[in-house]
Structure 1
Amino acid sequence: MIKQWIEKQKIKSKMHKCFRHCKMYHEKKQGDKKIRIYPQITNIRPLEDRLEVVFILQTGLSTEAIDETIFKQVFGKNIEIKHDKIKKCVLNVYKNEIPKKVNYDFHLIKNHVAKMQLPFICGLDIHGELIIIDLATEAHLLLSAETGGGKSSLLRANITFLIELNGNYELYLTDLKRSEFGMFRNCSNVKGVYITTSDILPTLKKIEKEMKYRGDLLDQHEVNSIDELDIKLKRILVVIDEVALLRKEKEIMSIVEDISSIGRSLGVHLVLSMQRPDSKILESGNLKNNLRVRISGRQSNSMNAKVAGVEGAENIGMNQRGRMLIKLDDIQEFQGFYLDSAEAKKILKNYKVKGQVHVEPEQQLGVKQENILGVLDE
């Protein structure tokens, strides 16, 4: 009992050190002296895989004052802080580390996505558990990271995974730098790879028309989502690498914003990526609020991390290749899946559609369904 008490006092002392450096305290005058009143530590609990410390902020203190960098300096880098955004906070200090590399393996992942319609695979968290989201639910995603941050590898792994999975979806890939998506040409599920704005604009216009068709279909059947229809429409995923290069293309960006606003219920989804977060794109218009899922690798500074929507990404080390943060309701750290180009090309050989030729944009989308359903006229 004495030993446990001593250990708890050491932990409290470390917590007070963190509170002091984060300026998380009130000062109260007592005689000629000022004393500091720190947040109340209500529970210290050693668990099998971690140490859990629960603390409560006093009135007047904000969870925004919590600086994870300071807590990592005191408790080590394998920590996680969760809070209810008001006053209750939980610090977890883990015994295990997030792996430094997680190789892509389709067979290890596929059983975890059985109930998902359009999975986006992320990687492994500190618990050794897979982080996977379903874009059918979460709608749209922004992926950003500076050079060497793992963005390209994670995109490559996800497109390869969707091709191997071969679900009820179509992929439209835009690669204006002409450096990433060429390997996916003529693969099953991939309906187009576009490398210029003049290539992608006609297809986006067809997707816009398809959304109008699907919206009319929902109205006609008095339902809120394509999932409620008797017919099974394919989900459409538009992936744009280095979307910042489109900032001056007003017509294209207008359609992209429309997809972000109304695409979820219509089964049309976005994955946008950029190396350096662009405030002109992300801090105005509909994209700011509609890109619900934010994933970021290392950012060079706190301003870039803030624009990316994942504060703390600037604290990822330069040597932590593939280490990322994902923000949904809160922020989680994970090691992203790694898949190099050579290995991806070997995998994709099995999914090339023999004899496939270039298909005009108007022949690629579900707008052909109007001939069957009689809802829209060409």
Structure 2
Amino acid sequence: MTRKKLIKAFRSGDMHLTYKMNDVNERLIFPKIRNVNNGDFSTTISFTLPYGLDPKLLKKNYYVFEQYFGQNGELHGDVKRFTLTVNKGALPKELTYNYAKIELKLEGIGMPIVCGKDNACNWMVYDAISEPNCLISGEPGAGKSTQLRSILTTLIQYNTSNELHIYLGDLKMSEFFLCKGVEHVKSVCVYLEDLTGQVSITSKSDTIIK
């Protein structure tokens, strides 16, 4: 069904090559569909263009994909190979934190920051070592504190207490009481004067969270 719908989209958007067999007949050569993967939250379709087909046609006529598959889709590719990802629905309003389910996504990352999920419900993770700045913003009650606690929880489980030292400033006196007693956490300060001078690097292997 998905393959047939994609072929119809190619035909409707004139995304094909046309060879005349004679004065009456002609042959249409469409992009070749390599794989269709139906996941729980999205469908991913991989295809390649025939030689001679301008890849700009895909972006120019992207509205045709939206007409056939809806507006919850994304097209990625360069010159010949492309992937169309069609999301099946909206993201869930709440995400349940489960380290075991995201652990495989963290492999090879020095300091993983888990940001949530993308439109295809895949976990989004970046490395704070190469991208050290993180801004969490939102209106009251949007979940900023919850997001920060999930980031700290992931880092604590991913790194040993020798690899990671955490110094927390909790000026609201409500956010980090759960972290008291955790081996990685060297201090939880609730007054600014207590936080001053707390952070010190004792070795090159120390990683500091402020």
TM-score range, shorter chain: 0.5 to 0.7
> 1:91 and 1:198 mapped to 2: Cα distance?
54
User: Against the structure 1 CA distance between its residues 4 and 143, is the aligned structure 2 distance closer, same or farther, given a 3 Å change threshold?
Assistant: closer
The amino acid of 2:194's aligned partner reads: D
Shift of 1:169: 0.7
Shift of 1:171: 0.9
Instruction: Give unmatched runs, 5+ long, in structure 2.
Output: 14-30, 37-42, 47-56, 61-65
Q: Does 1:235 align with 2:207?
A: yes
Q: Partner residue of 1:138?
A: 131
Q: Is the 8 A contact 1:79 1:92 kept in 2?
A: yes
Q: Does 1:179 align with 2:171?
A: no
Q: Does 1:202 align with 2:184?
A: no
Q: Secondary structure at the match of 1:123?
A: strand
- In the superposition, the TM-score normalised over structure 2's length comes to 0.59
User: Which whole-Å deviations, capped at 9, do the CAs of 1:33-66 have from their partners, x for residues lacking one?
Assistant: xxxxxxxxxx8x897325798325xxxxxxxxxx
The equivalences for 1:1-378 within 5 A come to: 7-8=9-10, 48=36, 49-50=43-44, 54-55=58-59, 76=70, 78-80=72-74, 92=84, 94-97=86-89, 99-100=91-92, 101-167=94-160, 168-203=163-198, 206-207=199-200, 210=201, 233-238=205-210
Q: Is the 8 A contact 2:44 2:83 kept in 1?
A: no
> 1:118 and 1:4 mapped to 2: Cα distance?
40
> 2:71 and 2:140 mapped to 1: Cα distance?
23
> 1:51 and 1:107 mapped to 2: Cα distance?
28
User: Against the structure 1 CA distance between its residues 121 and 93, is the aligned structure 2 distance closer, same or farther, given a 3 Å change threshold?
Assistant: closer
Q: Is the 8 A contact 2:156 2:164 kept in 1?
A: no
The amino acid of 1:78's aligned partner reads: N
Identity %, equivalent residues: 25
Q: Secondary structure at the match of 2:187?
A: strand
User: Against the structure 1 CA distance between its residues 169 and 148, is the aligned structure 2 distance closer, same or farther, given a 3 Å change threshold?
Assistant: same
Shift of 1:109: 2.2
Structure richer in helix, relative to its length: 1
How many matched pairs?
Answer: 166
Measured on the aligned residues, the alpha-carbon RMSD in Å equals 4.0
Instruction: Give unmatched runs, 5+ long, in structure 1.
Output: 13-42, 57-71, 85-89, 215-225, 227-232, 239-378
Whose relative contact order is higher, 1 or 2, with alpha carbons under 8 Å and at least 6 apart?
Answer: 1
User: Which whole-Å deviations, capped at 9, do the CAs of 1:226-262 have from their partners, x for residues lacking one?
Assistant: 5xxxxxx121111xxxxxxxxxxxxxxxxxxxxxxxx
Q: Secondary structure at the match of 1:152?
A: helix
The amino acid of 2:158's aligned partner reads: L
